[in-house]
Copies of this chain bind each other. A is one copy, B any other.
Amino acid sequence: MTKKIKTSPHFNALAELNNEQIKKILGHFNPLKVKRGVNLLQEGSVSKHLYYVQVGCIRTFFIDKEGVDKTSYVVAPDNFGTAWSSFIFQQPSAEFIEAAENSELLAISYKEFFNFIQTDLVWKNFYLKILELAYLNQSRKIEALMTLDAKQRYQKLMKGNPALIQKLSNKTLASFLDMREETLSRIKSKK
């Protein structure tokens, strides 16, 4: 059973839309079921879809030069995500996208999405909001990477989003917090 992670309305891309607008927008997304571990995008390919997570979660990650998996972003239920830099500029992605759990998604193609954005102000405002939130998440990530050590990063996530800690496997959580699995286990056991 997958638990839903509640997001604050202020920090949800759909929060400023009325029900009719939400229905209209999500009505253009197509349902997609993916098994845990399935890649939705390979590094080097161009991201052609934006996803909305209904159940489960997806993550974006890099593979560094030593072959270590580094999670850059986790998209929890009720949130939108993709490999944004690749999607926006239609350039090869530095990141993979993977279903981190068995997931039920809604997907829209780049072409359709940007057509709507260019012609419909509701879509444009919606895109702006998703982008603002994606920016905010990234800047929190940079702050954590630059100013906190492994233990502090764990504690911050524990305080800010404890549901995510329960949701992710130890491997993915360690990769998301940019630490080794052994370090995560040590931190968890010392709590």
Interface residues of A in 133-191 (CB under 8 A from B): 134-136, 138-143, 145-148, 152, 178
CB-CB contacts below 8 Å: A55-82 with B: 62-65, 70, 72
Is the pair B178, A84 in contact by a Cβ cutoff of 8 Å? no
Chain copies in the assembled complex: 2
A14 contacts partner chain B, Cβ-Cβ < 8 Å: no
Task: Tell me if A131 and B124 are in contact (CB < 8 A).
Answer: no
User: Does A16 reach chain B (CB closer than 8 Å)?
Assistant: no
Given A128-B128, A131-B128, A138-B135; A143-B88 close (CB under 8 Å):
no
In the assembled complex, how far is the CB of residue A149 from the closest CB belonging to chain B, in whole angstroms? 9
Q: Is B147 in contact with A146, judged by CB distance below 8 angstroms?
A: no
Chain A: residues with Cβ within 8 Å of the partner, total of 34
Check if A40 is an interface residue, CB within 8 A of chain B: no
* Contacts A128-B127, A128-B131 given; does A65 touch B147 at CB 8 Å: yes
The one of B70, B89, B131, B140 in contact with A131, judged by C-beta atoms closer than 8 angstroms, is B131
User: Quick one: given A70-B147, A147-B62, are A138 and B142 in contact (CB under 8 Å)?
Assistant: yes
B135 touches A84 (CB 8 A): yes
| Chain B residue, CB-CB nearest to A89 | B136
Q: Indicate if A94 sits at the interface (CB-CB under 8 A).
A: yes
Q: Are B142 and A145 in contact (CB under 8 A)?
A: yes
CA distance A147 to B61 in the complex (A): 10
Once the chains bind, are B89 and A143 in contact (CB under 8 Å)? no
Extra pairs beyond A124-B128, A128-B131 (17, CB < 8 Å) = A62-B146, A62-B147, A65-B152, A70-B146, A72-B142, A84-B135, A84-B139, A85-B136, A85-B140, A95-B143, A121-B121, A128-B128, A135-B135, A138-B142, A141-B142, A145-B145, A145-B146
